[in-house]
Structure 1
Amino acid sequence: MEKEGLARAIDFIRRNCTLQIGKIVTDRHIQIAKWIRENLPETCRLYDIWHIAKVIGLLFGLRKKLSALAKQECEVVGDWTNSIVNHLYWCSTTTREGAGDLVEGKWLSLDNHLHNVHSGHSEAFPQCAHGPLRRQWLKPNTKLAQPNTVADLAPDS
């Protein structure tokens, strides 16, 4: 069904528009990947980050890790769970293609951000892009405040 919808949409564009399709964003559907390879060989296929974030959350248990931390000794993490998952999405969607160091800098800024530190993150991402926030911040010496704990929540951990 998804593949058929894509095929019809591309056919419509080809018949009615003078657009050239240079890039296309889809989910990770196998049939769509094959169709694009066969019918749009010069087109760059990108994955929809929402689907990537969802898969990462499922495969790597980001929400589960955060929930476990909240139950152990850091209850405030429970209040941050949605924001942390959204931060992963934000890191990818607000960064130009090929700027991996910036994506990494944004992701690793999370540790500072959770402790109400919004500047001095890294050379690639020196400060947060948001205005003032009223949140419950993490305190030093909690489980999540330990070195590398936030980085360990990253999808490749």
Structure 2
Amino acid sequence: MGTRSANRRGLMNSSMGIGAAHNAVLGAATPIASQEAQQVATKNLAFMEGKNQRDINTANLAAAERERQLAALTNLVTNSQSSIAGTLQNHEIPGATRAAVQQSINDQTAAAIAAMERLYGTRINWGTLNPAITSQPGALGIGGGYGAGTGVRV
């Protein structure tokens, strides 16, 4: 179209003719390119919005999973401490038996924590088990010889 117009005016080989042809090509291509660019931008925006929503959903699920793990862990530790406290309240239990029961509670707690770690794919590390149990009831002023640790990972 631009070359015909330039040829009619006798400007076919002039810079004005070439410029007119170039402008005609750009004028025809620009709306097409603009529409295609808008379609690609819309598609990319939809993709990014979908990806962002998936990322948000993944983060929300991970947070809910951590909350469940924390609740399960809290219940486990509370039950363990309650069981150990029960051994401390009975002064009739010999020290060696009390120590064995408390160690059993600690072992069960550690096994439950290990199972929880496998289930949730995490590593819970609060320190080491430290029951500090002695065989002399009342030796530490709290009855039953229970000492410095809580008997669970802290």
Q: Name the TM-score, length of structure 2 as normaliser.
A: 0.28
Give the number of the structure whose residues are more often helix, by fraction: 2
Q: Name the TM-score, length of structure 1 as normaliser.
A: 0.28
